[in-house]
């Protein structure tokens, strides 16, 4: 087993990514937005995984920062989808809350690696 598989933040990011996949499979979202949201949500979990494999605190921290940036990117895309009525308020709130939790978890990891 790899270290990242034991991280709760990785598990939550993976679940979020699966929910995004389902959302985009069930809804007609334009190709560009679909692609960007898929990439951003995937980037959250992939950067957590890659960061966990780094040897120095600075390297780990950098990948967790990138992952957190992808969380923010997902929020912006979902906010856009809400504005153009491609997403209802309830669905937006569910995704938003999950992203807020991921952001806080990643912030804690980043802060813990700061020297």
Q: Render pLDDT for 37-73 as a digit per residue (tens, 0 to 9).
A: 999 999 999 999 999 999 999 999 999 999 999 999 9
Q: Render pLDDT for 92-104 as a digit per residue (tens, 0 to 9).
A: 999 999 999 999 9
pTM score: 0.96
As a whole number of Å, the CA-based R_g of the chain is: 14
How far apart, in whole angstroms, are the C-alpha atoms of residue 88 and residue 96? 12
Helix (H, G, I), strand (E, B) or coil at 91: helix
Length of the chain measured in residues: 115
Q: Nearest CA to 87 among 73, 101, 76, 103?
A: 76
61-89: average pLDDT: 98
* Helix, strand, coil in percent for the chain, rounding step 5: 85, 0, 15
Q: Mind listing the domains of the chain with CATH numbers? A: 30-113 (1.20.1440.60)
């Amino acid at each position: 087993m790899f270290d990242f598989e034991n991280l709760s933040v990785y598990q939550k990011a993976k679940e979020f990514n699966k929910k995004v996949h389902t959302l985009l499979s069930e809804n007609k979202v334009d190709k560009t937005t679909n692609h960007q949201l898929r990439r951003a949500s995937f980037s959250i979990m992939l950067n957590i995984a890659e960061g966990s494999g780094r040897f120095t605190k600075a390297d780990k921290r950098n990948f967790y920062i990138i992952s957190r940036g992808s969380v923010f990117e997902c929020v912006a895309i979902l906010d856009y989808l809400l504005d153009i009525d491609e997403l209802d308020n309830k669905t937006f709130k569910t995704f938003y809350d999950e992203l807020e939790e991921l952001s806080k978890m990643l912030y804690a990891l980043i802060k813990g690696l700061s020297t």
